[in-house]
Structures are given as structure tokens and as C-alpha cells.
Structure 1
């Protein structure tokens, strides 16, 4: 399991409105495309350098495809990265102010200290 790779996915998708929409509409397709083409690129390097070994585990892939922020948090994905990305994708579906954010927090309420390690 690689919290770095989970966080890298969340970070890079959140910074591109087109990727946010692709992730909302076709999570399996976007996760597969991203893993095949972006996972091994060096962050913030445009061309020429890449690693060759990074890949999601089956559990990570399933959580990403399922938009399962609770499972991602349990795996160590940074909660601010999931929150900002998921707000971009799902806040529009919740008409009451902050209702998505409150639901996000309520879904994590069963966790107690110490929280999963979110260090990368």
C-alpha cells in the first residue's frame, strides 16, 4: 500500500477540473487511465523522468473507484485531499450549505485517536 500514490492521485485529479469531472462520471475509467499514464510520472516534472513500479493495490483501486473516502482515510490518504476533491465532485448534489461536508465528517465519526497515519 502506498499512501504517497493515493495522495498523489487525489492531489493531481483535484487540480484539473476536467479530471474532476471524469472522476465523478467514470471513476473506474479515470482510475485505470491515471494509474496507467500518470502514476509513475514524477510529480511536477513534465517530461522525461518516471519511475516504473508504482501501482495501486486492489483495495486502493476499489476505494478510489467507489469514491469511498472512509476506506481511503483508513488506508492513510490525507483527509484534506479527499475532502477538497470530493467537495468539487459532490457538493453540487447537496442543496443545503455545508451538508456534504457534514456528511463527510459524520462518516468518519467512528474513528478515534490515534487516527491512521497520514504522513507521506
Structure 2
């Protein structure tokens, strides 16, 4: 299940309580980001030019096997945070802007927290 960029999906937590359906949509994304390797992978993809990175650029940053990194990237893709495209023998991952904006909107408040 992927997160939607629609306002029904992701209400601002500080504005009104989240419905059970909204929570069910958001939880898989938050679970995907709760893993340190996936959080780092997401950060690496986002920090690359155009928020896109080749798997070949991501692998050297970890002391993990290629299948393990591929699994983590698959989880990020299935959660709706990344798109992927095969080009030759490599897979390129691109952050989904709407999903990132929806996650950010969860924690946006209209008034400063004190």
C-alpha cells in the first residue's frame, strides 16, 4: 500500500486527529523509514541530483550484500517512497515528491510548538 498525496490521506497531526484509515495508509511508510539502512538509502537518493540515484552508487556506502540493499530498496519502493527504472543492467531509484510532501505535511504545524 502506498501513501497518497491527497489531503484525505495525510491530515496534519496537529490540526486534527487522524482516522483509522489514514493511519493504516501512513504506517507502512513510517515502518519503511524506521529502519536505519532504509532511512540512509532514502537520504542518499534524495541528496543525489534530481533526487535520483543508481543502485551502483548506493551499494559502496554499506557493508551489506547487494541482495540486502536490493531488499531495502524494494521495501522503500513498495511503500510508495521510491520509483524505480531499469536502465541496462542497473536500476535507478527516484524519490516520489508527492509521497515525501505527504510525510512532511504530517508534521507541519500552523502554529509554532512551544
| Higher helix fraction (1 or 2) | 1
Larger radius of gyration: 2
Q: Shared fold by TM > 0.5?
A: no
| Higher strand fraction (1 or 2) | 2
TM-score (norm 2): 0.29
**Structure showing greater relative contact order (alpha-carbon pairs closer than 8 Å, 6 or more residues apart):** 2
